[in-house]
């Protein structure tokens, strides 16, 4: 096994267990030799996890590879701690080879320490000791002289020099606790480094378990205990649009909901307001969660109405407080303020809402705050939680290097941060639409009468950070509400709704029964009404605008034979577009429609008997129906589900931001269905 392969295996093992480090937290390294392709001579190299990425999923492409001779030479030109940021750019001149990740700010910690293998990790148990008010004494008591306390220092070249000096002066030490931050361990072999890392983590955890006070967060607060699961999730769904709107005042955000026992227990005890106000400590934590959360200061049984009123009041205070925080510490060289809205919102008895520019970021932000709660519990159980100073948090949050990292991120896709809900999305037009919206950056809810098919369609698109499948009968008001409740708990809210669910029975007037009529109107006319009503409730409360798109039909305009119930239902949908566009415009909600014709391929409607009936009406074979429809159009082209999906994207994308009340024909040209 090569040095790099051995390092990757160790990194994956450490990163796979959340007790060792948080997602994308920490870094690992190994030193070894390789052949210089220019001289043919052996050269000593450092392989280290590069900027970004995650230990648990690290691959060779995520490693930065540097020449150790050149890196060690940087010590002689180091200009001092006031200019240490310049050293990050200098790492680029130490790189070996043509590929690999960019070196991270922690590279010096790995390169300068005289050990073959180094691990820097962010375990909850280690950070609990690192953030305890008497963390230095605890480190001595827990580890003796095998682990050394390092007072808080911002990650960088000087911290690397400090740890290198500790390693040189205390040869018996196997690692150190970095005040306010995490741990670093080392070894002469990969196995030894990993063993030392795990020993520090497990020893700290065992000490906390044995010596912690019974109630680290203080006594239980009356009225703040967790609501029963069904009640708290119902309340969470009712609050979600308001909370997402609060978190998205400056820029749109996707959300994630967490009602784990860790969160609910924290919020049920007396110390949670004080600890939440102190904020997180580890740089990885507060860069993802902001310096502190917004906490609703009402008991669990507070009404939804009272909770919404108070949340909106607290949002104003939070924004003012964050602006003051920025003003206290910013200077002429600081990056512009990045937004004053909370990324973590805590609701006693209900749970935690976390936010980010995509679902994964939102979910991980919540995971980081769970890490922070665990850290607070450990520190309070042994001592008093004492995170790094606010000024130090600001230095990292608005670090020029952090700003440069943000500027290097790729431009977002057109529908990034938007949450789309598509009904009837397990096949045909709905499925194609969901795929297109996801490809353009949206999170997608696949809703269908058949849960298994909805979940399978979602799995084709991506994992649960991208798409989820839900069962929903759009003709049932309670089922529609449950669908939206599940959607807002999955992604924080909804921005874009596509009324696509439908069916058709091809019968003449005399053959059409009352049941036939009711079924088609229940699904399409009534169903679209119910979905749009539930959607509007969410969209209005979010105050972020939005889109509602109706997949109507050419038949809303064209009077074809043996089609009375379907055509009438589609005409109802078409007029709903105009009515709702007029009503919802004041809220920034656009309502538009699409009139397809003859979408045979992949269609659940056509496969369910409609195709055979229409083929019989027109006197053609069912398998030739698509070609028949194409030949009656002006363009002589068959209409595919993807053509409808393209139109949905255009209506909801950035180029038609001022268009509402429009019906777009996607029928390859049917003159009888021209809009008049």
Query: What is the rounded CA–CA span in Å between residue 279 and residue 546?
Result: 34
Q: What tokens were used for 298?
A: 């009402």
pLDDT tops 70 at residue 610: no
Query: What is the rounded CA–CA span in Å between residue 442 and residue 648?
Result: 13
Query: What is the rounded CA–CA span in Å between residue 464 and residue 454?
Result: 13
Tell me the CB-side half-sphere exposure of residue 378, using CA atoms within 13 A: 27
Mean pLDDT of 20-33: 91
Residue 604: per-residue pLDDT: 65
- Residue whose pair of structure tokens reads 């943000």 in the numeric block: 406
Report the catalytic residues: 566
Residue 53: per-residue pLDDT: 82
Residue 607: per-residue pLDDT: 62
Mean pLDDT of 205-223: 97
- Residue whose pair of structure tokens reads 């991208």 in the numeric block: 466
pLDDT tops 70 at residue 606: no
Question: How does DSSP classify residue 230?
Answer: H
Query: Using an 8 Å Cβ cutoff, are 497 and 535 in contact?
Result: yes
Residue 540: per-residue pLDDT: 98
Residue 22: per-residue pLDDT: 85
Nearest 5°: the CA angle 598, 603, 605 is 85
User: In this predicted model, which residue has the larger pLDDT, 652 or 410?
Assistant: 652
Structural Rg of the chain based on CA atoms: 30
Residue 52: per-residue pLDDT: 80
DSSP per position, 550-593: EE--GGGT---SS-HHHHHHHHHHHHHHHHHHHHHGGGTEEEEE
Query: What is the rounded CA–CA span in Å between residue 386 and residue 258?
Result: 26
Q: Model pTM?
A: 0.94
Mean pLDDT of 667-675: 89
Residue 201: per-residue pLDDT: 98
Query: What is the rounded CA–CA span in Å between residue 355 and residue 288?
Result: 9
Residue 271: per-residue pLDDT: 98
Mean pLDDT of 316-329: 97
pLDDT tops 90 at residue 277: yes
Q: What tokens were used for 628?
A: 């028949």
Band (620; pLDDT cuts 50, 70, 90): confident
Residue 504: per-residue pLDDT: 83
Lowest mean pLDDT of 61-65, 112-116, 503-507, 658-662, name the range.
503-507
Mean pLDDT of 348-368: 96
pLDDT tops 80 at residue 408: no
pLDDT tops 80 at residue 297: yes
**DSSP element (H, E) containing 604:** helix 604-605
Q: What tokens were used for 17?
A: 């267990």
* Closest alpha carbon to 372 in 394, 343, 350: 343
- Residue whose pair of structure tokens reads 């996707």 in the numeric block: 254
Query: What is the rounded CA–CA span in Å between residue 181 and residue 151?
Result: 10
CA distances from 467 to 7, 411, 461 (A): 34, 21, 7
- The neighbouring-strand residues paired with 352 are 258, 346
SS3 404: helix
Provide φ and ψ at 47, rounded to 5°: -100, 125
End-to-end Cα, the chain, rounded Å? 72
Most confident region among 35-49, 500-514, 531-545 by mean pLDDT: 531-545
Q: How many CB atoms lie within 10 A of CB 471?
A: 18
Mean pLDDT of 259-272: 98
Query: Using an 8 Å Cβ cutoff, are 269 and 221 in contact?
Result: yes
Band (37; pLDDT cuts 50, 70, 90): confident
CA distances from 1 to 8, 10, 190 (A): 11, 12, 12
Mean pLDDT of 469-481: 97
509-537 pLDDT, tens per residue? Answer: 999 999 999 999 999 999 999 999 999 99
pLDDT tops 70 at residue 608: no
Work out the mean pLDDT of the chain and round it to a whole number.
94
Band (599; pLDDT cuts 50, 70, 90): confident
Q: What tokens were used for 652?
A: 């909801």
Lowest mean pLDDT of 326-330, 427-431, 455-459, 611-615, name the range.
611-615
| Percent of the chain scoring above 90 in pLDDT | 84
Residue 672: per-residue pLDDT: 86
Tell me whether residue 61 is exposed, middle or buried, using C-beta atoms within 10 angstroms of its C-beta: 0 to 12, 13 to 18, 19 or more: exposed
Neighbour-count burial for 566-593, b at 16+ CB within 10 Å, e otherwise: bbbbbbbbbebbeebbeebeeebbbbbb
List strands edge to edge, sheet with 27-35.
Answer: 63-67, 42-49, 27-35, 117-121, 182-187, 175-178, 147-150
Indicate if the alpha-carbon torsion angle 17, 261, 492, 123 is positive or negative: negative
* Closest alpha carbon to 492 in 205, 252, 251: 252
Mean pLDDT of 251-277: 98
Mean pLDDT of 618-626: 80
pLDDT tops 70 at residue 23: yes
Residue 663: per-residue pLDDT: 96
Mean pLDDT of 504-510: 88
Band (619; pLDDT cuts 50, 70, 90): confident
CA distances from 50 to 1, 124, 419, 548 (A): 21, 22, 32, 43
DSSP per position, 192-210: HHHHHHHHHHHHHHHHHHH
Q: What tokens were used for 357?
A: 């520019």
* Closest alpha carbon to 439 in 653, 592, 658, 601: 653
Q: What structural domains and CATH numbers belong to the chain?
A: 3-211 (3.40.225.10), 229-408 (3.40.225.10), 419-605+639-673 (3.40.50.720)
- The neighbouring-strand residues paired with 419 are 443
Query: What is the rounded CA–CA span in Å between residue 185 and residue 177?
Result: 9
Indicate if the alpha-carbon torsion angle 6, 47, 44, 160 is positive or negative: negative
Query: Using an 8 Å Cβ cutoff, are 293 and 285 in contact?
Result: no
CA distances from 45 to 66, 120, 193 (A): 6, 19, 18
Question: How does DSSP classify residue 146?
Answer: S
**DSSP element (H, E) containing 44:** strand 42-49
Per DSSP bridges, beta strands 175-178 and 147-150 are parallel
Residue 617: per-residue pLDDT: 75
pLDDT tops 90 at residue 561: no
């Amino acid at each position: 096994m090569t040095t790099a392969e051995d390092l990757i295996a160790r990194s994956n093992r450490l990163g796979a267990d959340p007790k060792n480090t948080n997602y994308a937290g920490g870094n690992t390294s190994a030193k070894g030799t390789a052949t210089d392709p220019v001289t043919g001579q052996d050269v000593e190299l450092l392989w280290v996890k590069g900027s970004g990425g995650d230990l648990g999923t690290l691959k060779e492409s995520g490693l930065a590879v540097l020449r150790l001779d050149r890196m060690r030479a940087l010590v002689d030109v180091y200009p001092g701690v006031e200019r240490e940021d310049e050293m990050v750019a200098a790492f680029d001149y130490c790189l070996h080879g043509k590929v690999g990740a960019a070196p991270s700010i922690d590279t010096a910690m790995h390169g300068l320490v005289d050990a073959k293998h180094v691990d820097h990790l962010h375990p909850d148990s280690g950070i609990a000791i690192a953030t305890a008010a008497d963390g230095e004494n605890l480190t001595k008591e827990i580890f003796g002289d095998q682990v050394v306390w390092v007072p808080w220092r911002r990650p960088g070249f000087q911290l690397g020099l400090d740890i290198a000096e500790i390693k040189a002066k205390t040869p018996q030490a196997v690692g150190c606790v970095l005040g306010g931050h995490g741990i670093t361990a080392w070894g002469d072999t990969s196995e030894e480094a990993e063993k030392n890392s795990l020993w520090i983590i497990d020893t700290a955890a065992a000490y906390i378990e044995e010596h912690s006070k019974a109630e680290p967060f203080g006594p239980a607060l009356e009225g703040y205990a967790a609501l029963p699961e069904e009640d708290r999730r119902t309340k969470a769904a009712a609050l979600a649009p308001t909370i997402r709107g609060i978190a998205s005042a400056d820029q749109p955000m996707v959300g994630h909901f967490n009602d784990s026992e860790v969160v609910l227990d924290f919020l049920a005890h007396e110390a949670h307001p004080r600890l939440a106000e102190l904020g997180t400590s580890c740089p990885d934590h507060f860069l993802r969660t902001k310096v502190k959360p917004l906490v609703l200061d009402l008991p669990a049984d507070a009404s939804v109405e009272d909770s919404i009123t108070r949340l909106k009041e607290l949002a104003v205070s939070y924004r003012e407080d964050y602006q003051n925080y920025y003003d206290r510490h910013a200077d002429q060289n600081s990056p512009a303020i990045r937004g004053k809205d909370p990324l973590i919102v805590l609701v006693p008895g209900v749970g935690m809402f976390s936010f980010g520019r995509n679902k994964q970021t939102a979910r991980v932000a919540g995971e980081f705050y769970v890490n922070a709660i665990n850290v607070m519990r450990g520190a309070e159980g042994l001592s008093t939680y004492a995170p790094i100073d606010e000024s130090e948090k600001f230095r990292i949050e608005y670090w020029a290097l952090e700003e440069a990292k943000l500027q290097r991120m790729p431009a977002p896709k057109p529908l990034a941060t938007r949450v789309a809900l598509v009904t009837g999305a397990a096949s045909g037009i709905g499925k194609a639409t969901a795929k297109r919206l996801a490809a353009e950056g949206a999170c997608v809810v696949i809703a269908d009468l058949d849960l298994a098919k909805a979940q399978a369609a979602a799995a084709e698109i991506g994992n649960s950070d991208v798409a989820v499948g839900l069962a929903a009968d759009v003709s049932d008001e309670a089922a529609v509400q449950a669908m939206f409740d599940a959607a807002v708990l999955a992604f924080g809210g909804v921005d874009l709704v596509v009324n696509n669910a439908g069916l058709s029975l091809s019968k003449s007037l005399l053959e059409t029964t009352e049941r036939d009529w009711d079924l088609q109107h229940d699904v399409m006319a009534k169903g679209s009404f119910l979905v749009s009503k539930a959607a509007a409730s969410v969209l209005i409360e979010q105050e972020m605008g939005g889109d509602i798109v109706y997949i109507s039909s050419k038949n809303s305009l064209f009077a074809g034979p043996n089609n009375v119930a379907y055509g009438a239902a589609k005409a109802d949908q078409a007029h709903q577009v105009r009515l709702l566009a007029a009503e919802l415009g004041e809220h920034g909600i656009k309502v538009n429609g699409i009139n397809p014709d003859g979408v045979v391929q992949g269609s659940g409607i056509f496969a369910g008997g409609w195709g055979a009936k229409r083929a019989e009406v027109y006197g053609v074979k069912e398998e030739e129906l698509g070609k028949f429809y194409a030949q009656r159009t002006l363009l002589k082209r068959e209409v595919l589900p993807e053509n409808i999906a393209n139109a949905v994207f255009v209506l909801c994308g950035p180029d038609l931001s001022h268009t509402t009340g429009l019906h777009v024909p996607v029928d390859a040209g049917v003159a009888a269905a021209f809009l008049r």
